Structure 1
């Protein structure tokens, strides 16, 4: 059996070839990354990407970012494309953009960043500040047009979403959307989904955090809105609940080889989900995550069994 270390070496060794324009994983390859279509644009994206909050952001603040270089290299070499970031994630946006240019992979990455120029404690964004934040993201990520910009945490939707709509109309942003990881804000999110022409939403969704299944994900299917999933591990909550328990043998029935894949495959089995973007600063964890995008996904009966298994565990301390 190939170890994770051996897998990482082979993937990184192939990274140079994978960055060439003609290099693609074959759709006929049973080991190829699963892709899904962005409903409104028709673009196909790999279903597992990379987030840049949490540990990624912590490492980006330091002087040694070599681990992040390996992570971004492995993302593209391993068949991923989507990188989710935000100006609010400290140095993540700037560092990732610089690394991608250094590696020559900037054009291959689907850059998903965010906009929130509302001052702390305020409720509206200064238009000039919002434009400057957007232009800074262009400079940091080195791509114009940007692939996706979303209004972060539904902040000042009239002003900031209106600005993104103008950027999209001008051809400088390809997709626009909104994000929320707050249940209290879900009614506002639903309102925006019903009334605005957006391409994506970003929401929290995990095997023990399924509230979006009630209204938000069905509405995304109805309104043809792509879905980026955040916090599929419940930050660290699910890891605390699982502890040292072994992966159940029946997880192999849907080609699941680790707990990370167990949690990600549950999320990906919902048809509304376009891509899940767990954050990590370790290439070996990224490779494990990418494995969730390969092989079979659980069917409805298997998903129910997964939920029952997790719900029976003690809550995180």
Structure 2
């Protein structure tokens, strides 16, 4: 698989990464054996960019993938995140960007992962009560200490990105971006490009909606957090399903799956973009990897844009309380 540069500090990752969150929480039943097999198949097929966070499974995801990262340390680029604080019972505490917490969270992640260094360390959500300069200053100290190689932010506003980048070079911004979440095209993506910051889209398949595999609300397990997502509820569900059906029709003309079309469209938006579609199953991993072989002409990209224009998805990306934590 080809490599893409993120930022100007030397970070290179596989064109397509792998989001590991669902291997430990949020998307229904957990199968750790299948998850670990999926990690190996990903690496065998050229995926070297793996994404986790300390909040996924309240540390369980880092513990799960840690041994695999140790065994393949010279081949993988590992990204993890801090900032979303949870109690051991899973309840949400809040966001912390306090310098002392940053360093404590990093040490805890390194311990769970069993590693000496994190390749890419993100602030998962911006703490509105702590100046970004203080948070990134503490993250910079981690780079100086050799505990972290590159810095990133997630769901930060254009102004915050600029201030953070002045404090210490930011290599990557991770924010939701897909055919049904294109708002970053207004300010966020242009800011990253102006500053030379790479862009890592999470949920590039619309939390699975763009795969075409979800056709009714009942397809979601009882403990699947998407049941509480506005885009999966009520009339929004059917309207968004209509959008997916348009994507499916275009995919048929390319002899590819809707997932592959959606990812190919995203990859075509720029060489500074490295999506991290998440999956815990080998079947879907291999399907996603197939997107790197799908080439779209300018005419086909225009057709896709017309079928899924900016703002075409119905409903907010998250529930109201979670939306308050974005673009700070």
Report the secondary structure of 2:269's partner residue. coil
Partners of 1:216 and 1:63 in 2: CA distance: 34
Partners of 1:174 and 1:235 in 2: CA distance: 29
1:36–1:47: 8 Å Cα contact kept in structure 2?
yes
| CA displacement 1:212-256 (0-9 Å, x = unmatched) | 11222122122111111111112144345225985436753xxx6
Q: Residue 107 of structure 1: CA displacement?
A: 3.2
Report the secondary structure of 2:206's partner residue. coil
- Would the alpha carbon gap of residues 125 and 303 (structure 1) be closer, same or farther in structure 2, given more than 3 Å must change? same
Equivalent residue runs for 1:125-144 within 5 Å = 125-144=97-116
| Equivalent residue, structure 1, for 2:78 | 111
1:201–1:225: 8 Å Cα contact kept in structure 2?
yes
- Would the alpha carbon gap of residues 191 and 59 (structure 1) be closer, same or farther in structure 2, given more than 3 Å must change? closer
Q: Residue 195 of structure 1: CA displacement?
A: 3.9
- 1:49 lines up with 2:47 in the alignment: no
| Equivalent residue, structure 2, for 1:171 | 146
| Equivalent residue, structure 1, for 2:64 | 95
Q: Residue 68 of structure 1: CA displacement?
A: 0.7
2:250 to 248, 251, 273: 248
Partners of 1:59 and 1:98 in 2: CA distance: 22
Greater shift, 154-163 or 115-124, is seen at 115-124
- 1:78 lines up with 2:49 in the alignment: no
Equivalent residue runs for 1:150-299 within 5 Å = 150-155=122-127, 156=130, 157-180=132-155, 186-192=157-163, 195-196=166-167, 197-238=169-210, 239=212, 240=214, 241=241, 242=244, 246-248=248-250, 252=254, 257-271=256-270, 273-296=272-295, 298-299=296-297
Question: Which residues of structure 2 form unaligned runs of 5+?
Answer: 87-91, 215-240, 316-328
Q: Residue 315 of structure 1: CA displacement?
A: 5.8
Partners of 1:97 and 1:220 in 2: CA distance: 30
| Equivalent residue, structure 1, for 2:6 | 38
Partners of 2:26 and 2:187 in 1: CA distance: 36
- Would the alpha carbon gap of residues 295 and 262 (structure 1) be closer, same or farther in structure 2, given more than 3 Å must change? closer
| Equivalent residue, structure 1, for 2:303 | 305
Question: Which residues of structure 1 form unaligned runs of 5+?
Answer: 1-32
User: What TM-score, normalized to structure 2?
Assistant: 0.73
Q: How many residues align?
A: 273
User: What TM-score, normalized to structure 1?
Assistant: 0.75
Cα RMSD of the aligned pairs, angstroms, is: 3.1
| CA displacement 1:135-192 (0-9 Å, x = unmatched) | 1211222332211001111234333321111111233211101101xxxx53554444
2:247–2:304: 8 Å Cα contact kept in structure 1?
no
